[in-house]
Amino acid sequence: MKWRASLGITILLLALFMVWSILSPAEAPLSETPVESQEPQGNWEEPVVQAVAKAGPATVRIDTTREIIVDQFFFQQLQEQRGIGSGVIYRADGYILTNHHVVAEAEDIVVELADGRRFPGTVVGGDSLTDLAVVKVEVDGLPVASFADSNELRVGQVAIAIGNPLGQANTVTTGVVSAVDRDLLVDPRDNRYLEGMIQTDAAINPGNSGGPLINQSGEVIGVTTAIIEQAEGIGFAIPSTTARNIGDQIISHGRPLRLGVLGGSLTPALAKSLREQANLELAVDRGAFLTRVLPGTPAAQAGLVQGDVVTAVDGQEIAGMRELQDAVQKAGFGGSLRLTFYRGSTKDQTEVQL
């Protein structure tokens, strides 16, 4: 009897096990279990990301070394000074746009590309009046930045700065175009301005100088150059159209096309102030007022001097300095201009060979 009871229990357990096997859910094979990727998934479709991906490879770091004179108690000695700036590749055969102040008087220049390669650089030429310079490295096939027409800029559009602020390589900051056509006084003694500048609130710090300011399409709209130290969120860039023109002139002729004068636009209010406060004799209220004539320039060779007021170019009246500069650029290298000017109360003319 006992063996019959044991057999019945065994059959019952087997039956229960078979029912459980049929009704329980089957486990999925390990090979079919979906596994999520552990790699970070960035949003590559964001406009800023795409813009930086386009312009980043054409942005470079520029390391400079120069010797400066340092006072040491009762004598002077030379001391090595290192500097860091940025630049933007302008041509595939090694021409790079940067700021004049980044490479001025540098004895040694090293350009580091975005891929880490480093090359010695030489200064092709520079222009302190626009704070632009061209550096050449002996390598071909470089990635080249696209340049937009800065005349089409609108206040409020996105502005992206790429550079090496404080030595931090390939740093990107964003903001907007805060204003256009700003004139920035950089040398009060000589009344020297950087004219027609782009103002932006994209963070710009030492080391950004010479790097590109780009739009959302990854096109260069300006070359960053200056900040106002006492203010936050105010930086400036040289418009891309100006940068291209000066860059082309330096590459082709080793120098920019210049009349060789500093000054500003004379207005009735300014003329009245100069007569009353500086006791200057002015026969006109409008024109290009010359505060300095640089030696060895076309203006100096034509006999222009400080205090002259240019009122017409080739018989066409001008309202100020901007029209005079435009006429010079239009005439081009080797061109000539007939300038009408006033020296005190005396009206005169001179021929300028550019």
Best-predicted range by mean pLDDT (37-46, 75-84, 133-142, 274-283): 133-142
Check: CB of residue 58 under 8 Å from CB of residue 89: yes
Local confidence band at 31 (pLDDT 50, 70, 90 cut-offs): very low
Phi, psi dihedrals of residue 113, rounded to the nearest 5°: -80, 170
User: Does residue 167 sit in helix, strand or coil?
Assistant: helix
Verify whether residue 101 is a known catalytic residue. Answer: yes
Check: CB of residue 225 under 8 Å from CB of residue 184: no
Least confident of 21-35, 37-51, 164-178: 21-35
The whole-number pLDDT of residue 95 equals: 97
The whole-number pLDDT of residue 30 equals: 46
Q: Which of 63, 86, 101, 127 is catalytic?
A: 101
Check: CB of residue 237 under 8 Å from CB of residue 224: yes
Verify whether residue 100 is a known catalytic residue. Answer: no
User: Does residue 70 sit in helix, strand or coil?
Assistant: strand
236 vs 214: CA distance, rounded Å: 13
More confident residue, 338 or 167: 338
47 vs 34: CA distance, rounded Å: 32
339 CA to centre of own chain:
34
pLDDT at 233 over 90: no
Torsion angle defined by CA atoms of residues 292, 329, 335 and 318, in that order, rounded to the nearest 10 degrees: -70
**Best CA proximity match to 199, nearest among 214, 183, 177:** 177
Check: CB of residue 293 under 8 Å from CB of residue 310: no
Look up residue 271 and give its two tokens: 């003329």
31, exposed or middle or buried, with CB in 10 Å at 0-12, 13-18, 19+?
A: exposed
**DSSP H helices in the chain:** 2-23, 47-55, 100-103, 240-253, 268-277, 298-301, 321-331
The whole-number pLDDT of residue 300 equals: 95
* For residues 61-75, average pLDDT: 78
Check: CB of residue 61 under 8 Å from CB of residue 88: no
165 vs 61: CA distance, rounded Å: 10
Total Cβ atoms within 10 A of residue 190:
12
* For residues 299-303, average pLDDT: 95
pLDDT at 11 over 80: no
The whole-number pLDDT of residue 278 equals: 84
Map out the domains of the chain with their CATH numbers: 56-137 (2.40.10.10), 150-253 (2.40.10.10), 261-353 (2.30.42.10)
Amino acid found at 81: Q
Q: How much is the pTM?
A: 0.79
Percentage of the chain lying above the pLDDT 70 cut: 83
Q: Which of 86, 150, 209, 240 is catalytic?
A: 209
More confident residue, 279 or 336: 336
**Best CA proximity match to 64, nearest among 45, 83, 47:** 83
Check: CB of residue 208 under 8 Å from CB of residue 146: no
Q: Which of 63, 127, 131, 308 is catalytic?
A: 131
Total Cβ atoms within 10 A of residue 276:
9
Contacts of 173 by beta carbon, 8 Å cutoff, 6+ apart: 160, 161, 165, 202, 203, 204
Q: What is the mean pLDDT of the chain?
A: 85
Check: CB of residue 254 under 8 Å from CB of residue 125: yes
Q: Residue holding tokens 């201009």?
A: 337
